[in-house]
Structure 1
Amino acid sequence: MLNSFRSVWAANIQLQQIRCAHRIRGKAPIFCRTIKERLDELNYKDEIYTTRVDIGLPQMKKLTESSRQSRLEHLKKIKADKNLEQLARNHTLQIDLNEAKKEWLNTLGPQHKKQIADHYGIFEHLYGEGYFIPHLNLEVLYDLKNGSYLPVCTGNDIKPAEALEYPIVNYETDPDSLWTLALTSLDGHLTEGDKEYVHWLVANIPGNSIEKGDTIVEYLQPIPLKGTGYHRYAYVLYKQDGNITYDITKVTATSPLKDRTFVTREWYQKYQENITPAGLAFFQTNWDISVRDFFHKVLDTKEPVYEYDFPKPYLRPQEWFPRRKAFNLYMDKYRDPKQINKEYLLRKLKDEDPFKAPPPPLKFPNAQPFPKNMPSWLRLHEKKIRLGWGRVNDV
């Protein structure tokens, strides 16, 4: 009995968890900040810069309770119509898209445009903490010269060659009102990244007659630089309280780009008592050949070209005597890829004559003998060139 008790006692001693003493890393808990306090400090944002301000016009037609009720009754009536349901199931239901778009613009369209503009960062880069709901529908159409027109919607893709000339602009308004139309590029300033280029600025527009307004900055086609990806271009329509004279130097189509430097936020703050944004339309664009023609023919200068600087891959330190590695491939790892491509291109052009037909390809490329003293790495290299394998296809 005593022996069994001792065995149980020994087993309990062996299974008991013993915690060893340890030192506290850092400050004592009573002096440290909690994880919540640390996160609040890291994520702190000043309310002055995070509180958004509506700088636009109020909603022109507010939805009353009776209009909401009539819309609900109309929806119930449509859902109860079995004929419409049968047409929809048979894919024969026809809807007037113009009427649907008109209804959308009068109800949820402005809110949707504002949400899309927030997604693209339009308001943030134009006005900082300011924003507006575009209650006035701004129609901008580019003439493609083939009987069709390309509209500017909310972030659609338009090539610079499709926007060489100023567009047709239309909006519904009182003919006695005055407006200002501005087109600015939010990306791609050549010298100052936080500024814009103004591509078109027309002031004191009576009603929707753009041609009768005062053109302060003549229209300039989009100029997204090669290698910089997509650029955003925004049309903003401002309602004026009266006739206004902007303190901006007149810019022509052939003026240097530095004369078009513009900051919408500063310009709006200066004239915010006299103008209010009401309409918005914006698009995206990327480089095409018309941008090169603009720099060469209009500005008479070289076209700036950019390329993305990818992070360099890790390469182990170069060895004097690398084992089991091809000589040419190993050495090319530590060379500039552009220089390698240039050598391949020069080697290819060396054997070409514009006045002679290219030599016929070998029927059995690798049946042609190589010199006996040719190194193995060079032999493999020449075989790939004959077969058209590998890097030779890059040029």
Structure 2
Amino acid sequence: MYFLKSVVFVICGSILYSSCLATEHNPVIDAFNREAISPDLIPKAPEGLLTVQFEKGIKANLGNTLSIEQSKKKPVDLSWPSSQEAFYTVVMTDPDAPSRRNATFAEFKHWIVGNVPGLKINEGKIIADYRPPSPPKGTGPHRYILLVFVQPRGKITFKEPFTPSDKSDGRPKWSVKKFAQEYDLGDPVAGNFFFVERKK
């Protein structure tokens, strides 16, 4: 009888341990859900962390606040769980244009680079050049969301014309969800985001 009880205890303990592992929180998913990025913007939050580093070691950190000055130039380094054999699309979008409460121009497209081989974003095709965060004064903090999609069929022939950084054509009222659907990108594999607010 003692032996049977011990066996039952070991089995139950293993089940409980496995259950705990299965329900362990993912900080990326938790942060995206907390800020309503998913399911409002994308159906499913990414599981992987996109490391985003700007100049002087400034990093995005799942909802930290950066200044306009800190984010005025495109990131100097991006990394995510990747394969050297795959191609990726990197997107940055603002769903709070002109404000989170009154997002009539949402989303605002800030950056798109497609056909990125592995982590070599400088070798990808720039579809929309980096447009730095510049939220209007008095509109509160804006969420600037960066997402990485794997291209399941390899290289893509993108139909969008190139958008330079100083042009706004095609940037307002954009949708990352529709973009992903159009090119069959599925759910993002990695992501990150930060806030920027203009107070003066």
The interval holding the TM-score normalised by the smaller chain is 0.7 to 0.9
Q: Per the alignment, in what secondary structure is the counterpart of residue 162 of structure 1?
A: coil
User: Which of 162, 179, 190 is 1:279 aligned to?
Assistant: 190
Q: Distance in 1 between matches of 2:38 and 2:143?
A: 12
Q: What is the aligned partner in structure 1 of residue 66 from structure 2?
A: 158
Shift >3 Å, 4+ stretches = 189-192
Matches of 1:115 and 1:137, distance apart in 2: 12
Report how many residues are paired. Answer: 176
Other structure's SS at 1:269 match:
helix
Unpaired stretches in structure 1, ≥5 consecutive residues: 1-67, 73-106, 290-395
> How far apart are 1:188 and its partner, in Å?
1.6
CA displacement 1:203-260 (0-9 Å, x = unmatched): 00000011000011000110111011100010000011111122222100111x2431
Q: Secondary structure at the match of 1:160?
A: coil
Q: Does 1:187 align with 2:102?
A: no
- One-letter amino acid of the counterpart of residue 108, structure 2: Y
In terms of fraction of residues, the more helix-rich structure is 1
Question: Kindly tell me: are residues 245 and 189 of structure 1, through their superposed partners in 2, closer, same or farther at Cα, counting changes over 3 Å?
Answer: farther
Structure 1 equivalent of residue 20 of structure 2:
none
One-letter amino acid of the structure 2 residue matched with residue 156 of structure 1: N
Q: Map of 1:38-49 to 2, 5 A cutoff?
A: none
Question: 1:338-393 deviations in whole A, cap 9, x for unaligned?
Answer: xxxxxxxxxxxxxxxxxxxxxxxxxxxxxxxxxxxxxxxxxxxxxxxxxxxxxxxx
Q: Which residue of 1 aligns with 2:33?
A: 118
Query: Which secondary structure does the structure 2 equivalent of 1:283 belong to?
Result: strand
**CA-CA distance at 1:275 after TM superposition:** 4.3
Give the CA RMSD over aligned residues: 2.4
Distance 1:164 1:142, change over 3 A: same
* Post-superposition CA distance 1:130-159 (Å, at most 9, x none): 11342x231100113xxxx11111100011
Q: Is the 8 A contact 2:51 2:79 kept in 1?
A: yes
Partner of 2:126: 215
- Take 1:288 and 1:219, find their aligned partners in 2: how far apart are those partners? 23
Are the counterparts in 1 of residues 44 and 187 from structure 2 also a CA contact under 8 Å? Answer: no
Runs of at least 5 residues in structure 2 that lack an aligned partner in the other structure: 1-12, 18-22
Give deviations 1:294-322, integer Å, cap 9, x for gaps.
xxxxxxxxxxxxxxxxxxxxxxxxxxxxx
Calculate the TM-score normalised by the size of structure 2.
Answer: 0.79
Q: Please identify the structure whose Cα radius of gyration is greater.
A: 1
Q: How many angstroms does 1:124 deviate by? A: 3.0
Distance 1:222 1:142, change over 3 A: same
Matched, 1:175 2:84: yes
Matched-pair contact (CA < 8 Å) for 2:131–2:166: no
What secondary structure, in the 3-state scheme, does the structure 2 residue paired with 1:131 have?
coil
Shift of the 159–108 alpha-carbon distance from structure 1 to 2, 3 Å rule, reads farther
- Structure 1 residues 245 and 275: CA distance shift in structure 2, 3 A: farther
The structure with higher relative contact order (CA 8 Å, sep 6+) is 2
Higher strand share: 2
User: Which amino acid letter does the alignment assign opposite residue 30 of structure 2?
Assistant: Q
